[in-house]
Amino acid sequence: MFEYLKGTLASLTPNKAVVDVGGVGYLLHTPLSVFSAMPPVGEEVLFYISSVIREDSHRNFAFLSQEERDLFEKISAISGIGPKTALALIGHLDYSALESAITTANASLLAKIPGIGKKTAERLIIELRDKVLKGLKKSPLPATPQKGISDEDQTVNDALSALMNLGYSSLHAQQAVKKALTHFDGPPDLSLLIKTSLSGM
């Protein structure tokens, strides 16, 4: 199977990319977050690949980092989840935000992602906490993750939820909050963080 593909970006849509490698065009299924991060068509790109082979299809899923690709494979391996749901998760929350949502058992944030209901979000947290984060973090996670959350992390999660309740997508909310945090030297006040995030959108 492919580890990565490096070539010329031939075409791009919000969920697919075609990469020309030596005159061969590879169709790649990509998370939504890839679309805004891509250079113009004709530029060189590199994707980390996960191939999903079934009796009736052979699809290549592409990511900007090895961590995202590995996380996609672990999410897809959960019974009843599959590549489509895994791609939606990674496309709407960046790697650190998704890790944070699972660590803090923020099911409400995950449930706002298209295709992820409350029950699926809760199951994802249980499965991923044991099967994914245990391998990503050197120190073990507490049995009750919400008790170990810092005030600043809780403020960030609350700000994300507030923006999404206002109708913003999880991806746009995450980008806005991340940008807003650069304006603070210390832990921000929730209302001020939300106001700064909205002003930057």
pLDDT tens, position by position, 15-60: 999 999 999 999 999 998 899 889 999 999 999 999 998 888 899 9
pLDDT tens, position by position, 153-193: 778 887 887 777 777 777 788 888 888 888 888 878 888 88
Residues 52 and 84 in one domain: no
Q: Check which CATH number belongs to the domain holding 156 and give it.
A: 1.10.8
Buried b (16+ CB within 10 A) or exposed e, 50-76: bebeeeeeeebbbbbeeebbbbbbbbb
Domain ends where: 64, 79, 113? 64
Helix (H) or strand (E) holding 125: helix 118-131
Domain ends where: 39, 64, 89? 64
Q: Taking the model in full, what pTM does it have?
A: 0.65
Q: Check which CATH number belongs to the domain holding 31 and give it.
A: 2.40.50.140
